Chains A and B, each alone.
Chain A
Amino acid sequence: MTASDAIAVTRAVEAVLRQDRGRLLAALIARLRDFQLAEDALQEAAISALTHWGRSGMPASPQGWLLRVALRKAIDRLRSSQRDARKTADLSHLAVDEAAEDTADDIPDDRLRLIFTCCHPALDAKSRVALTLRSIAGLSTPEIARAFLDAEPTMGQRLSRAKAKIAAAGIPYAVPSPEDWPDRLQSVLAVIYLIYNAGYSMGPQAEASSHRDLCAEAIFLTRLLVQLRPDDPEIEGCLALLLLTQSRAPARHDAEGITIPLAEQDRRLWDRTAFDEGLALIHRAMDRRSPGPYQIKAAIAACHMADPGPDWPQIAALFTRLLDFEPTPVVRLNRAVAVAEAGDLSRALDEVSDLATTLSEYQPFHAARADLLARAGQGARARAAYDRAIALAPSAADAAFLIRRRDSQPI
């Protein structure tokens, strides 16, 4: 094999895994019932592929080849560990049908089970995010560590601990029953939303670095959910929300990378394809007449982007509806902002001051309060609130925007 052949084979293996790692892993876990063993076996199969595919050419179904070899590797491992422990369990249920030439279409798609396992509420939130990115989206541990500003060994330990807990605590590898579906789906969507937000808050600095685009990963995961479980209005609502938010990305920062608020964005820069798809999705979801928090948030996003400007009374009404599902101070804050925009500034300021204690560490609270105070002509109090918002700002782009606002306040 020449050097260029070797590179071509490496690329081919990487391409198959990038596309189908989640699917292969899900199929392996379904048979092996062991997360770590499945990952290790797939890794070993990928290494074998580099030699075999280089020697004998690409198999007809690379996915089927990887699955068969990985299963064989896993069985070898199980046999040798059992010899050591003088145990004999029946492995026949794992037997690999050597004659079968699986094609990618024959591999059962177990990714929905895998997603629900990775997002199980018995795992802590950060581990759910990391495990989903690793197992379903196929990010490497170093990529996940970089995205969440963790040291690589720390992220590696987090992933190992999570996989160990899945095995030891008996977290099921199953799609939840219909009665548990709504709650458990919210847990899955929350993970996807966290991934999207992590990408969003990195801002334009992420594009310049070697970060994987987490916004794109979140959209990929949601599209996968739509494909695996069509006709669920909350999944459609979540995809609509992400697409509508993402469609504004080209207009979100100025040439210096400073955040431009929605009201001041050049609407011609919005991505029409993503916007139209998002809008169509939210309409389709709401026609199913089974409202939920993601549908409401997507509807709010759509109202923000209405032509020629945001429909604030409708947005305030939607936030009131959202409080039925999420009675949180953050939703109350957002409603207050919408109430102010709809024209009732004094009621908005009253609502915001009620939230001062609970949201004292929440950056958007101070940014929103500063803005309302500025509009009410309370310059000195507005400046103090801007100072607090700037100190807590998640990105340099946001801080720069707030500094500009603060410095325009009359003293």
Chain B
Amino acid sequence: MQYMLLIYSDPALEPAYGTPEFKEMMGGYFKLNEVMKADGTLRGGEGLQGVETATCVRLRQGKVETMDGPFATTKEHLGGYYIVDVPDLDAALKYAAMIPSVAYGTVEVRPLMDYNPNGN
């Protein structure tokens, strides 16, 4: 099964760039990437730029509305994601717990939609 691990955190609580904590966090991410690659489970993953760069779009009454800012105004923002291919939820939760951001944020684990469950 494929799962997306969505990484949410409050930028104010993240370690600041250049501090030893920041280095440690990045080291944790590099290490996790290596583990996932060695396990052959990593299908993708990216980090996102901050929410100050976000723009929202919607179509209302046939008119495109464009707005500055993220979709939801919460303290914790989506900051990045991984997609892993593993046998079950427990395996996905293991990787989620290894994401350095769990120490100050939250990782949401969601199975990807399977559009072709029987593989035809």
Using CB atoms and an 8 Å cutoff, list the residues of chain A in contact with chain B.
87-89, 120, 122, 168-172, 174, 176, 180
The distance in angstroms between the C-alpha atoms of A171 and B91, with both chains bound, is 10
CB closest chain-A residue, reference B113: A168
Q: Mark B82-93, 1 if CB is under 8 A from A, else 0.
A: 000001111011
Select which of B87, B90, B92 is within 8 A of A180 by beta carbon: B90
The distance in angstroms between the C-alpha atoms of A120 and B87, with both chains bound, is 16
- Give the residues in chain A near B89, CB-CB below 8 Å: 120, 122, 169-172
Apart from A88-B118, A120-B89, what are 15 other A-B pairs with CB-CB below 8 Å?
A87-B120, A89-B118, A122-B93, A169-B111, A170-B1, A170-B3, A170-B87, A170-B88, A170-B92, A170-B111, A171-B90, A172-B88, A172-B89, A172-B90, A180-B90
The distance in angstroms between the C-alpha atoms of A408 and B3, with both chains bound, is 61
- Give the residues in chain B near A122, CB-CB below 8 Å: 89, 93
A212 to chain B, nearest CB (A): 31
Report whether A172 and B93 are in contact in the complex, using a CB–CB cutoff of 8 Å. no
- Give the residues in chain A near B88, CB-CB below 8 Å: 170-172, 174
CB closest chain-B residue, reference A176: B90
The distance in angstroms between the C-alpha atoms of A170 and B91, with both chains bound, is 10
The distance in angstroms between the C-alpha atoms of A390 and B88, with both chains bound, is 47
B1 to chain A, nearest CB (A): 5
Query: What are the nearest 10 A-B pairs in CB distance?
Result: A172-B88, A170-B1, A170-B89, A170-B88, A87-B118, A171-B89, A169-B89, A172-B90, A89-B118, A169-B111
A214 to chain B, nearest CB (A): 29
CB closest chain-A residue, reference B94: A180
What are 9 A-to-B residue pairs whose CB atoms are below 8 Å? A88-B118, A89-B118, A120-B89, A122-B93, A170-B87, A171-B88, A172-B88, A174-B88, A180-B90
Using CB atoms and an 8 Å cutoff, list the residues of chain B in contact with chain A.
1, 3, 87-90, 92-93, 111, 118, 120
Most A Cβ at <10 Å: residue of B87, B89, B111: B89
The distance in angstroms between the C-alpha atoms of A147 and B120, with both chains bound, is 46
Q: A87-B118, A122-B93 are in contact. Are A172 and B111 (CB under 8 A)?
A: no
B21 to chain A, nearest CB (A): 25
- Give the residues in chain A near B3, CB-CB below 8 Å: 170
The distance in angstroms between the C-alpha atoms of A168 and B89, with both chains bound, is 10
A86 to chain B, nearest CB (A): 9
The distance in angstroms between the C-alpha atoms of A88 and B117, with both chains bound, is 11
- Give the residues in chain A near B93, CB-CB below 8 Å: 122
CB closest chain-B residue, reference A86: B120
Report whether B118 and A172 are in contact in the complex, using a CB–CB cutoff of 8 Å. no
Report whether B87 and A172 are in contact in the complex, using a CB–CB cutoff of 8 Å. yes
B82 to chain A, nearest CB (A): 16
The distance in angstroms between the C-alpha atoms of A398 and B90, with both chains bound, is 42
The distance in angstroms between the C-alpha atoms of A168 and B109, with both chains bound, is 12
The distance in angstroms between the C-alpha atoms of A356 and B92, with both chains bound, is 40
The distance in angstroms between the C-alpha atoms of A172 and B88, with both chains bound, is 6
The distance in angstroms between the C-alpha atoms of A172 and B89, with both chains bound, is 7
The distance in angstroms between the C-alpha atoms of A96 and B111, with both chains bound, is 32
B95 to chain A, nearest CB (A): 13
CB closest chain-A residue, reference B120: A87
The distance in angstroms between the C-alpha atoms of A176 and B94, with both chains bound, is 13
- Give the residues in chain A near B118, CB-CB below 8 Å: 87-89
B75 to chain A, nearest CB (A): 23
The distance in angstroms between the C-alpha atoms of A89 and B117, with both chains bound, is 10
A375 to chain B, nearest CB (A): 44
A92 to chain B, nearest CB (A): 15
The distance in angstroms between the C-alpha atoms of A168 and B3, with both chains bound, is 11
The distance in angstroms between the C-alpha atoms of A89 and B118, with both chains bound, is 7
A77 to chain B, nearest CB (A): 16
- Give the residues in chain B near A89, CB-CB below 8 Å: 118
- Give the residues in chain A near B120, CB-CB below 8 Å: 87
A19 to chain B, nearest CB (A): 31
The distance in angstroms between the C-alpha atoms of A403 and B52, with both chains bound, is 58
